[in-house]
Structure 1
Amino acid sequence: MNVGEHIFKNKSINSFTIVNKMSSSLPQQEKIFTADMSADIFQPHAQIDYSLEGWATANNGLVILKGYRILMCRDYQTLKHVRIMSGGWAGSEPLYTGFVGPGMLTAIVLGDKFCSPPYPSILAAIRELGVGNPYGILLIVPNHPFTKINFILAVECALREKLPVKIIFVADDSSGLVDNQHGRTGLCGVTMVWKVAGAMAERNCCLEEIYNFCFDISSTHLSTITCNIVKVKNEVLDKKFDDSCSSKLSAGHDLVSSDISHESSIRTIEIKGDVVDRKEKGGIHSFQSLEDLAATLIGYTINGTYSPHSVILGPDSNIALLLNNYGSMENSEIYALVSELRYKLKHQGIKICRIYIGTVSTGQILDGFSVTVMKVNEKIIQYLDYPTAVPAWPKIFHSDCNKPESLPIHVQGRFHYDKMEVKELGPILSKSDTEKIFKVMEYVSLALMSCEGQINRVGANFNMSRFGTHMKNAAENINRMLYENRLKIHCPYALLQQLSLISSLNIANICGTYYALFFDAASQTFLRYFHQSELTEKMWTDALESGIEAIEFYGKIKRYNRTLLDALYPVLEALKKSPENYTDVAEAAEFQNWEVTDTKFQQQNLLPDPGAHTVAIWVRAVVEALKTPYSQASIAGSSSFCSGIDDFMYYP
């Protein structure tokens, strides 16, 4: 019997199960602090900003870029080497924030909880690090569809500005549950790539050298398996795993074994893919021993036993292990697992050169651990051993956290610019055409503002209950900028660029990204008409087509674009057939909204899809604005139209 099994045997457990310490026979203590109370204290949006301030308060070497969720090294302007940058959603701390400092990341940018940072924020961080920096910037980002698109957009914009920047997407998920549309997911292995890149930067390697080396590591040297802990109650076990029970346990996946002891509360292991996407689940495994668990983990991460995405190793290979505790595992369990993994790997002739144990990522969804395998050589080991002072890298360190009050935790960026200020390129419209655009913007913004509750109700059936609120926030910004004369309605290119920025900054999650993509691509169309001053129907038709093509191209990464495209296609076809017949265009949008809902949801008496529904709302608003003479257009008239929008929209 090895050390690992001995620990578990001493706990009187015959398989990899742990008895819940709160026995059902013990009296339950009255809770004095509830989740509702917690929600009142920690508002999700403000919590992220306070959290960043907390990191900067506790660390003398960190600052926040004022006006953004960007955490940076205080000396970022004076560094004499390549800057390493990353970012993503909040809610997985210490991931991202805990890895900023000497020897690792120079800066990170955060979004909302489980929402990618908007691309203007990413671009602001690149500009702050890149302008006047001859060494360059390397972005190393976990591969997630939401994050990927926004970072690509920001990098493309930075390259247009001639900033020296490269990007690597780390995809280390070895679960085998890969969505072919966006590939493997980025998990905790990204931290090991940051460590190597940070050490190379400190050793004054050039941008190209760091990029090539880290790209090779992320492509062939990394493999991570995430294991979720599944709790099974006694009353479920008493049903002897009948079909209905099995469905509840595995969410549609088969149990590997049903030989589980009848404890009051036990835990089995669920091999899991994407950390956030709860729909991508693997099978639930119940292990008879710690030895079985270790063998399964090795089979997923090494030599393709269970997964084609594992690291290929030969005899006498060297590896580094990273075990991340998402927060629910006891230290004795993690170290017992390390012991068993060592025995298994030694038997295969594989040497563990470095072991890192700690919490590098947490999550509200996962309740378990992950194991990352990195194939290493002497050079990689030197980079892993290079000193770093960041708090989240698993190691013992000493640091003075006493911050003198004279040191600020926010800094003003070197570049003062309005996020909504864009260059005026392409055709400039006549006064009459500008008046038309003003009226269209007024009608659309007021329509979306008045339909907040309606869109929220529609989206509630798709876990998008705040979609209408996000659209209202964007519409309010459009309306305010319109009356402050900050919306460049006389220049189609600049107007669409501003709408792209507003969408990204105000509409959370992937929906805002797709709207940003749509408007950005549509704006590029007007650069082809640089020398034309007269507005034509063809310009707008071409712009709409370009926007659809952009969503189609990037939309291959994820399927969320489908209903938006379903609603836009008939609008484009109607414009091509009869560009001056606005009624046909509006009816095309509304008809598609009905069609989408009719085939999938209407028979179940559910609401229409929020994507198609919202497109139909703003297309109808555009049409109504164009049909109304400008002399009759007013805020009162627009509001009256918007308040009756339920009359012409399909709404069960």
Structure 2
Amino acid sequence: MSKHLINKQEDWARESIKGFIYSNNQNLIALEEYANVIARKDYLSLAESSSRVALISGGGSGHEPAHLSFVGYGMLTAVVCGDLFASPSTSAILAAIRLVGKNNKAGVLLIVKNYTGDRLNFGLAAKRAQLEGINVDWILVDDDVALQEDENQRDSSVGKRGICGTVLIHKIAGALAEQRKSLKEIKEILDFILKNGYLKTIGVSLSGRVPLPGEKNPSIYDPKIEIGLGIHGEAGRHKTDLTNSKNLVKYILDDYLFKTSEKEICLMINNLGGLSNLELGVLTNDCLDYLLEFKSDIKVNRVYTGTFMTSLNMNGFSITVLGLDQSNKELILNLLDAKTEAPGWPRNYGVDIKKFEYLKSSYGSSVKEQSLKKSEDFLKFSDVNLSNLFEFFLKTIAEDLIDLKDHLNMLDSVCGDGDCGNSLANISQKILQNLSENKFKFDQPHQVFLELSEIFENGGGSLCILLSLFMSSAAKAFSLKSLNTRRERDHYFWVELWKNALRMGLDAVEEYGRAKPGQRSIVDPLSALNNFLNDYLESYESKKMDTKGILKQIVDVVYNSAESTARMKPRVGRASYVDISLINSPDAGAMGISSIFTSIYKAYLQNE
């Protein structure tokens, strides 16, 4: 069964409307007798002034924010909402007309989407209101071009459907009403747009029709998408394969929306209810990129992206094109830009899209680039053998991490997303690439750490960001301000230097990662190493070892600490959400750290 937040289906629309009024009661009000009639609170003064045409629209519920959210100064005066995907009753529509039009000599304009139920109920209400002496007229919005291609092959007396383009009609009509245009003038401008085919919309569903409350979800997965659907859960005109967003956009724009020769347009990209904002952004980008590249002769004056008219929670979208005629282009743009207080109209929109421009600045320069300008402030290796050894260490680390990819993925899959090995392998491939391109300056250790920090920064995932933090912070340890370079040949000097780099990196990881020793993370082996080096330096004279000896002990300390994470209760990361009884292996990140020091020791032995 489909799942919806609902109490009783017969109360669904009414309760939703009431919730909307709760959060918008500063400017809107609902009728007591017909709670599905919502109007501006200042409806009475508007009517008594008899200087502004009242605008009414509406239709079935399930299209929110349409039409409720388009009531307000600069747009609609009132709306009438039906039950889910059902036209409102004639009596409710008539009540709305009486409310805003009985004392309004300027008249009432009904903006009606071209569906049979809406035409009949709004039409009958208009006739009854006219009998009561109320000046009422209407327009039918029929912007759905999906039905245009085969009108000659079918009975076209019903006409095309009204869909998201209706929202643009609301805005244009509302601005005209605020300018005190007459009912006749407003209708003439809207008729010019609609009857000349300047307003066109096409709808697309990525997952078929929407199951209504109580209906079963489709049991058979359909990989195809549907093109040319309405807003009431009905099927599209035909199905096609989805390859990617760019190809879909090209198909829709070429085959449906730009068959005629528009030179200037406004664009509305609408979420039909279930599309993520991430996807909506991609769709908008692809539409504009395509128009700018392949339809460069078309000027895009305005772009509106958001959720304007839905089909409950349909996973899909619609694209509306409003063609601008040179005879009234400036008027239409001014009307679209005019002030409105309707809660559903977007406060931000694209204007006069000619190309995509980035702000050119130096703010995006890397920390490494900024630091290299002050490279004289940092330690440089005077011994070329040391630089070469540093390079060999890094190459060995990268190669070994690539070999460990599957093992680390397996460890990570126990309580993570199973990609730790992939992340470190991808980073290692980038390191090897940079090595081949001589991007590291191995006589400048701070530069190497900053280069690594940038590589890890772009690796994705929390582990890579933590290691980027570690590298960036560790680089500070090589500042000449904190070093006594006269002791550069002293074994103690080098152990203390690398210990300080470790400590600075570890501090940053603990601060921003909020991990402490004993919580199953990379902090455990790094902290164990820090403690070992502290103890070593404190009793240096009695414990003094050669480089090979200290590296061997470091390998053991780090490995044992990493292995011990298998017995720790996770407190940070995704592992903290997993039942501890399911965790019986070490932390993948900790084992990755262990691998690094094992590789250093291996490389040192090979270089002896």
- Higher RCO (Cα < 8 Å, 6 or more apart): 1
Write the letter of the residue equivalent to 1:67: E
Say whether residues 1:202 and 2:178 are aligned partners: yes
Structure 2 stretches lacking a partner, 5+ long: 210-217, 350-608
Distance 2:40 2:119 in 1: 24
Distance 1:226 1:76 in 2: 34
Per-residue CA distance 1:120-153 (angstroms, 9 max, x = gap): 1111111111111111111111111111111111
Write the letter of the residue equivalent to 1:96: H
Question: What corresponds to 2:15 in structure 1?
Answer: 50
- Pair member with larger Rg: 2
Per-residue CA distance 1:454-503 (angstroms, 9 max, x = gap): xxxxxxxxxxxxxxxxxxxxxxxxxxxxxxxxxxxxxxxxxxxxxxxxxx
Write the letter of the residue equivalent to 1:160: L
Write the letter of the residue equivalent to 1:276: H
Q: State the TM-score, normalizing by the size of structure 2.
A: 0.50
CA 1:291–1:49: 2 relative to 1, 3 Å: closer
Cα shift at 1:396: 4.7
Structure 1 residues 329-478: aligned runs within 5 Å: 329-346=275-292, 347-348=294-295, 349-364=297-312, 366-376=314-324, 377-396=329-348
Secondary structure at the residue paired with 2:10? helix
Cα shift at 1:61: 0.5
Question: What corresponds to 1:184 in structure 2?
Answer: 160
Cα shift at 1:328: 2.5
Distance 1:156 1:78 in 2: 25
Distance 2:53 2:340 in 1: 16
Per-residue CA distance 1:356-397 (angstroms, 9 max, x = gap): 111112224732110000012111110000111111112359
Question: What corresponds to 1:62 in structure 2?
Answer: 28
Write the letter of the residue equivalent to 1:50: E
CA 1:285–1:395: 2 relative to 1, 3 Å: farther
Distance 1:335 1:210 in 2: 34
Secondary structure at the residue paired with 1:102? coil
Distance 1:97 1:149 in 2: 21
Question: What corresponds to 2:580 in structure 1?
Answer: none
CA 1:332–1:120: 2 relative to 1, 3 Å: same
CA 1:114–1:379: 2 relative to 1, 3 Å: same
Structure 1 residues 32-181: aligned runs within 5 Å: 41-59=6-24, 60-68=26-34, 69-79=36-46, 80-176=51-147, 180-181=156-157
Secondary structure at the residue paired with 1:111? strand
CA 1:96–1:156: 2 relative to 1, 3 Å: same
CA contact (8 A) 1:175 1:300 kept: no
CA contact (8 A) 1:325 1:369 kept: yes
Question: What corresponds to 2:249 in structure 1?
Answer: 294
CA contact (8 A) 1:301 1:373 kept: no
Per-residue CA distance 1:57-86 (angstroms, 9 max, x = gap): 212000111110100000011124111110
Say whether residues 1:272 and 2:244 are aligned partners: no
Distance 2:126 2:313 in 1: 30
CA contact (8 A) 2:233 2:311 kept: no
CA contact (8 A) 2:226 2:239 kept: yes
CA 1:90–1:58: 2 relative to 1, 3 Å: same
CA 1:166–1:365: 2 relative to 1, 3 Å: same
Cα shift at 1:266: 8.7
Say whether residues 1:230 and 2:196 are aligned partners: no
CA contact (8 A) 1:174 1:300 kept: no
Say whether residues 1:215 and 2:191 are aligned partners: yes
CA 1:54–1:365: 2 relative to 1, 3 Å: closer
Secondary structure at the residue paired with 1:78? helix
Say whether residues 1:193 and 2:169 are aligned partners: yes
CA contact (8 A) 1:268 1:285 kept: yes
Distance 1:156 1:370 in 2: 33
Secondary structure at the residue paired with 2:81? strand
Secondary structure at the residue paired with 1:53? helix
Secondary structure at the residue paired with 2:44? coil
Question: What corresponds to 2:267 in structure 1?
Answer: 321
Per-residue CA distance 1:150-195 (angstroms, 9 max, x = gap): 1111111111222111100100001136662411000010000000
Distance 2:318 2:61 in 1: 19
Cα shift at 1:300: 3.9
Write the letter of the residue equivalent to 2:42: D
CA contact (8 A) 1:174 1:225 kept: yes
Secondary structure at the residue paired with 2:274? coil
Distance 1:121 1:231 in 2: 33
Distance 2:256 2:232 in 1: 20
CA 1:231–1:159: 2 relative to 1, 3 Å: closer
Distance 1:153 1:200 in 2: 26
Per-residue CA distance 1:227-271 (angstroms, 9 max, x = gap): 001379xxxxxxxxxxxxxx998xxxxxxxxxxxxxxx8964310
Secondary structure at the residue paired with 2:206? strand
Secondary structure at the residue paired with 2:74? coil
Distance 1:332 1:49 in 2: 31
Distance 1:103 1:384 in 2: 10
Distance 1:354 1:330 in 2: 22
Per-residue CA distance 1:75-130 (angstroms, 9 max, x = gap): 01112411111011112111111111111000001111121111111111111111
CA contact (8 A) 2:231 2:310 kept: no
Distance 1:231 1:45 in 2: 25
Distance 1:362 1:150 in 2: 22
Distance 1:335 1:350 in 2: 21
Cα shift at 1:212: 0.7
CA 1:100–1:267: 2 relative to 1, 3 Å: farther
Distance 1:65 1:374 in 2: 34
CA 1:110–1:231: 2 relative to 1, 3 Å: closer
CA 1:332–1:181: 2 relative to 1, 3 Å: same
- RMSD across aligned C-alpha pairs, in angstroms? 2.6
CA 1:165–1:231: 2 relative to 1, 3 Å: closer
Secondary structure at the residue paired with 2:122? helix
Question: What corresponds to 1:281 in structure 2?
Answer: 236
Distance 2:208 2:91 in 1: 42
Cα shift at 1:201: 0.5
CA contact (8 A) 2:139 2:187 kept: yes
CA contact (8 A) 1:76 1:129 kept: yes
Distance 1:133 1:337 in 2: 43
Count of residue correspondences:
323
CA contact (8 A) 1:55 1:62 kept: no
Cα shift at 1:302: 2.9
CA contact (8 A) 1:276 1:365 kept: no
Cα shift at 1:35: 6.0
CA 1:231–1:54: 2 relative to 1, 3 Å: closer
Distance 2:273 2:101 in 1: 36
Cα shift at 1:211: 0.7
Distance 2:9 2:285 in 1: 39
